[in-house]
Amino acid sequence: MNVTKTKKLFVFVLAALLAFLPLTPSEPLVSVAASDPTTTAAELEAQLNDILSNERLKGTTTGVSVRNADTGEVLYSHFGDLRLHPASNMKLLTSIAALETLGEDYQFITEVLTDGQVSGDVLQGDLYLRGKGDPTLLKEDFDQFAKDLKSKGISKIKGNLIGDDSWYDDVRLSLDLNWSDEPYYTGAQVSALTLSPNEDYDAGTVIVEVYPTSEVGGQAEVRLTPATDYVTIVNKTEMVGANESKSISIEREHGTNNIVIEGKMPLEGSRSRSWVSVWEPTGYAVDVFKKSLEENGISLIGKSEATVGATPEQATVLTSKKSMTLEELLIPFMKLSNNGHGETLTKEMGKVVYGEGSWDKGLKVTKDVVTSLGVDGATILLRDGSGMSHKNMIPAEEISQLLFAVQDKEWYPAFEYSLPVAGDSDRFVGGTLRNRMKEEPAKGNVLAKTGSLTGVSTLSGYVTTVDGEKLVFSVMINNYLGSSVTFLEDEIAKTLVNYTAGE
């Protein structure tokens, strides 16, 4: 008799014996599910079908695909061939294409150049800040550039300070981005020259914080990180008594850099904070660099101004900085689901492969890569690199095929390491799964990319089962209404963790 049959016989005998025993409150009946949580191949389909019959999925279109990670064999499919919106599962395609095209050691470079000469302590000529896509530039990097110039004896610039973003095209927003997303970090504009406010690297944004002051009837205090004059704060707040509730809104007006802050802040109230996208981030980067120069004793003199333009070919590099590697960038990109990184990598692939830093060329690279890995190009539609578009379409089975195929790639360990880890509280490990599936055996065993848009929820990645087998899965829920359906994705993943092939 095989092990599976022996286990089932034992459970049957145990249940029969318990039926004749008197039960007391201190002697609860042990459920079969608790004593034998594993799911055999024969039971897998029934259990997944049961999860997908949940009332919350009524009226939705839900695609599920499960594969054996070693062989690629499809173990389960539920509408797996239907084209669905992937939301941020689109980042799986973008990261895979970037690793294949650019390589895990790829770095962006930012340069400071001049077409003039240094005479005494004066730079006689224009100073150029040329960006080549780095989404991880911080104020500290601009400070270092200023120190480097100071070390060359420069304390005055008799010329313009010019930001050069010509490495990419000048299309700032992807084709399908909603206006409702545009003022926030999730819809930040893409430029080859940009700046991030902190080490989450939400490029093209400024952090706006609102703090209480001590006078009822006055205004709350507003602070910016980094400090910049590029945006205008319109403070419409009112300080109210400590017993009143807080109601602070922070939003940038479309087409401008006016950030309007409204509402009531109680005495001793808690801070309100928002990452606000800027309109035309190139100018933002130039403004902050100008402040770094001034803070380090370098001033613009004469009729000099800060502006935007192209660097002449004969310009000389004065200082430069290389970014972190692509392998390192994948951590904030994938763990935190950073939309801006997805769009930047898309344009960078277009620039490297076709000499054009555009969405059209970058998405062509992505499609070429994923189809070379077995994805059916005739059944997918790619519209951006982040998944913000409601027009991206791909079936669950094509995602699971892609995740299966990449395991043979030399760079695969970097890709797998970038995926959020279920239940791990470390923000740069658990990422968007840090507060999901926090109990063993799912905790730490589900490595997957989350995705969320209005009416869309997705989860695709890998699970390691209780008997050590690795599975690939993709769950794509479209057109749901009401509250979150992520608990159903988690139930599917936990069922897969408990899967055992049996005999």
Active site residues: 88, 91, 337
CA distance linking residue 164 with residue 142, whole number of Å = 15
- Tokens at residue 124, please? 């006689």
**How far, CA to CA in Å, does 148 sit from each of 120, 142, 296, 309, 320?**
16, 10, 10, 23, 9
Question: Within 13 Å and on the Cβ side, how many CA atoms surround 24?
Answer: 1
Q: Where are the alpha helices (DSSP H) in 373-441?
A: 396-405, 412-418
CA distance linking residue 162 with residue 128, whole number of Å = 5
Helix (H) or strand (E) holding 122, with range, is strand 122-124
Strand duo 221-225 + 299-300: pairing? unpaired
Secondary structure of residue 484 in the 3-state scheme:
coil
CA distance linking residue 102 with residue 341, whole number of Å = 14
Entry field: residues in the chain: 503
CA distance linking residue 44 with residue 420, whole number of Å = 25
Secondary structure of residue 501 in the 3-state scheme:
coil
Q: Which residues pair with 299 in a beta bridge?
A: 156
Contacts of 399 (CB under 8 A, 6+ apart): 65, 86, 89, 92, 460, 474, 476
